[in-house]
A and B are shown apart, each in its own frame.
Chain A
Amino acid sequence: MDALYNSMYYVGAGALILIGLYMVLVKANLIKIMLGISFMDTGLHVLLIAIGYVRGRTAPILSQALLEAGEGPPAVVDPVPQALVLTAIVIGVGVLALGLSIAVKVYEHYGTLDAGRIKGLKW
């Protein structure tokens, strides 16, 4: 039971990344490819946050109660992965918005969202 609890966040994050990668590599619909990218991003964010977690500690906001708590450093989790995830979420949103607008333009030109039939550029 303990082993399950220890690994479920990593397994979940890894599964999300792999599912997203599978969708990007195999699916033909442009929108499904963008969806796969979104899954990969979410899995990545969960992975980063899970790496920074320390059991028994709370969020890194030093409210008045924590500041007056007593000796030693405050018992909070690692703040750095949270800052990294903040940046990564914004980057993910930017890429997703750009990708969807490119997909819209491709649809306007080709009339289909099937990547198998969008082969204007040949070898």
Chain B
Amino acid sequence: MRRASALVLLLVLAAGLAVVLAKIPFGQDKIGVGNHYIEKGVTETGATNIVTSVVVSYRGFDTLGEVTVLFAAALGVTTLLFVERPQERKKREPASLIVATGSRLLFPLIILFGIYIFLHGHLTPGGGFQGGAVIASGFLLLYLARPGQTMRRKNLSAAESLGGLVFVVVGLLGIVFSGYFLQNFLPKGHPNLLLSAGIIPLVYIAIGVKVGSELGRIIGDLVERD
């Protein structure tokens, strides 16, 4: 009964999807607002990665919301898996020699790569979220290499909150200096240089630090449950 009604619902949904998608031709030029971003993006924001200028500058409020969504989810995970007194830690098998040695070599490289990605967010593909995810994978590698290790939650929590506050403060400074929330108030510089694009590198550094510590904390909560 349940399967049958689910299949009927899916058929209706599929029919509707097909009908509407027939009107959205694949591969043809139907760009609306996007044309403004493509043509004027570099001159108005200074970033050569147009997706970055859309994400941070034109639709910066969405990014603030997205950062908040991740914050709320990380808070939820911590609230659910919170233990007042961590119990006896079970004896775990130590990691193999390759993983243990390799992690010591790779961990700083991974962190460096993550920092590179979010630092160059306005020039090359990438940005705060991508760089933060790479940094968090470095933490995961440490957990795999040293089972049973705990991490210092409070420092990660502080880094996370600091990142978020920097983002909000940059937005508020936009009000102070230029009159609108999240408006650019730093010089745009020459395109394709590292020091360019106004507040975009600042925002992405804040987001990178925040997302990295946040995803690291989620991984830590899920791993240290026992």
Contacts and interface: CB of A to CB of B under 8 A. Distances in A.
The reply to whether A and B meet directly (CB within 8 Å) is: yes
Interface of A: 6-7, 9-10, 14, 17-18, 21-22, 25-26, 50-55, 59-64, 67, 73-74, 76, 78-80, 82-83, 86-87, 89-91, 93-95, 97-98, 100-102, 104-105
Contacts of A73: 35, 38-39
Interface residues of B, number: 56
A105 B81 CA distance: 8
Interface stretch (B55-63, B106-114, B157-165): B55-63
Contacts, number: 138
B135 interface: no
Contacts of A74: 38
A63 B42 CA distance: 11
29 contacts: A7-B26, A18-B10, A18-B13, A53-B26, A54-B29, A60-B38, A62-B41, A62-B50, A63-B192, A67-B191, A78-B34, A79-B41, A79-B51, A80-B37, A80-B54, A82-B51, A83-B51, A86-B127, A87-B55, A87-B63, A87-B65, A90-B129, A91-B69, A93-B73, A98-B76, A98-B77, A104-B80, A104-B222, A105-B81
**Interface of B (DSSP majority class):** helix
